[in-house]
Chain A
Amino acid sequence: MSLSIQRELTEKTRPPRALFLRWPYGHPLGEPFKAAQQRWVLCEALQALVSMQTPGTILDLPYRWRKPGPWEGGEELRVKS
């Protein structure tokens, strides 16, 4: 399961499964010390690991850099195994 912040490069290297975040280089999991945000992204990756069925799928996550996300209110992403 690959976490990408450079979609064009991921399209060319073609990992089996990838999540894409339009976030700055060096920040695939988010901002430093924002544990809830980091955990959310990691859970998205684990969920995609379970649910993706087609080789080469790249899923674009909707989260915007330094904008509020669902992790802000203490909500947790439940990973369905």
Chain B
Amino acid sequence: MNLHRWQTRFFALLFSRFPGLTARWLKRQRLHDYGPPPWTRLPKPLPACTIALVTTAGVHLRDDEPFDMVDKEGDPTYRVIPQKTPRNHLCITHDYYDHRDADKDVNIVLPLDRLQELANDEVIGTVAPFHYSFMGHIDGRHVARLLTETAPEVARRLKQERVEAGEG
């Protein structure tokens, strides 16, 4: 592992321990202006809805290419998580937060099992067949690719899969 990754993991532990540091860091950042929040009303009652999960926790299948941890500006790509994936086939590549607890139980960042239970109990209609995962450190030149390419692609896929709402 290179020095950059060690430094990133050190700061991730520090920022996890002292969240106020992130707030101070954010005040100094010039973030993209996303404009007014988009809005779509939920079209059906929840028990008739198909729900998908979208996470920025860096979850992916063990066989997938891991997210890029070398590029300091991050990685704007996404991975597909089938709902039926055995949980021990999932792993996390994300140096920018402390994910030791999520490694033990992925449900704290991607609540696959809890969502299935809510479908079984008819609180929601069905669980979408696929969920989508990003790695939440996306900066610099990668922001444009996220906004124009990968995020719209995920939105299109969710629409094709007739998902009414995403939780993430």
Range, interface on chain A = 35 or more
Q: Which residues on A sit within 8 Å (CB–CB) of B97?
A: 25-26
Interface flags for B109-122 (1: CB within 8 Å of A; 0: not) read 10101110110000
Given known A6-B19, A26-B98, A46-B124, contact A32–B36 (CB-CB < 8 A) = no
Bound-complex Cα distance A29 to B47 (A): 22
A20 to chain B minimum Cβ distance, whole angstroms, is: 12
Would you call B22 and A31 a contact (CB within 8 A)? no
Give the one of B27, B39, B98, B104 with max A CB within 10 A: B39
- Interface contact B165-A12, CB-CB below 8 Å: no
Minimum Cβ distance to chain A for residue B34 (Å): 5
Chain A residues in 8 Å Cβ range of B124: 46
Kindly state whether residue B45 has any CB partner on chain A within 8 Å: yes
CB–CB A42/B167 < 8 A: yes
| B40 touches A (CB below 8 Å) | yes
Whole-angstrom distance between the alpha carbons of A67 and B40 in the complex? 35
Q: Is the beta-carbon distance between A81 and B45 smaller than 8 angstroms?
A: yes
- Contact of A55 with B by CB under 8 A: yes
Total A-B contacts with CB atoms under 8 angstroms apart = 114
| CB atoms of B99 and A26 under 8 A apart | yes
Count how many chain B residues have C-beta atoms less than 8 Å from C-beta atoms of the other chain.
Answer: 44
B118 touches A33 (CB 8 A): no
Interface contacts beyond A14-B35, A24-B98, A50-B46: sample of 19 additional A-B pairs, CB < 8 Å, sorted by A: A6-B19, A6-B23, A13-B34, A25-B97, A28-B109, A29-B111, A29-B114, A31-B108, A32-B108, A35-B113, A38-B107, A38-B108, A42-B115, A42-B167, A46-B118, A49-B46, A49-B167, A56-B36, A79-B123
What are 23 contact pairs spanning A and B, CB under 8 A? A1-B165, A6-B26, A8-B27, A9-B26, A12-B31, A16-B40, A22-B19, A24-B16, A24-B98, A25-B15, A26-B98, A26-B108, A27-B108, A32-B101, A35-B107, A39-B114, A39-B118, A45-B167, A46-B46, A49-B42, A55-B38, A55-B39, A81-B45
